[in-house]
Amino acid sequence: MPSLDQMSESELLAELQHVANACEKLNQEVLRAAQRQQFSKDDLEIAQAAHDRQSLLAHMNRLMDRRRAVEGHLMRIRGQLRPLKLDKVGQG
């Protein structure tokens, strides 16, 4: 897969849709893990559900980072975002 810098607008839109779908799927899995954690009677199952939920949330966090990166690249391609200008230290 090419890096985001090498993707066209249509490829970025497809990637954004892919990430959105993955986030939706993960959200459902997080909900199921939370329900297992809340309603299970088995202590081992509760602990496993809590672990699963934390793991899924970490994965979702990475996907949200990817989503923001894709959105940023789309904005740049569309001219809605100016390139970052770094100030040199000592100049003012």
Q: Is residue 85 part of a domain?
A: no
Domain that holds residue 55: 8-77
pLDDT of residue 83: 65
Q: Is residue 86 part of a domain?
A: no
pLDDT of residue 2: 77
Q: Is residue 84 part of a domain?
A: no
User: Once rounded to an integer, what is the mean pLDDT over residues 62-75?
Assistant: 95
Indicate the pTM of the whole model. 0.78
Q: Give 1-58 pLDDT, tens digit per residue.
A: 679 999 999 999 999 999 999 999 999 999 999 999 999 999 999 999 999 999 999 9
Q: Is residue 1 part of a domain?
A: no
pLDDT of residue 39: 96
Q: Is residue 2 part of a domain?
A: no
Which token pair is 36?
Answer: 């297992």
pLDDT of residue 88: 66
**Rounded to whole angstroms, what are the CA distances from 6 to 43, 67, 72, 73, 84?**
49, 16, 14, 10, 18
Q: Is residue 82 part of a domain?
A: no
- With CA atoms as reference, report the closest residue to 18 among 38, 4, 6: 4
Q: Is residue 26 part of a domain?
A: yes
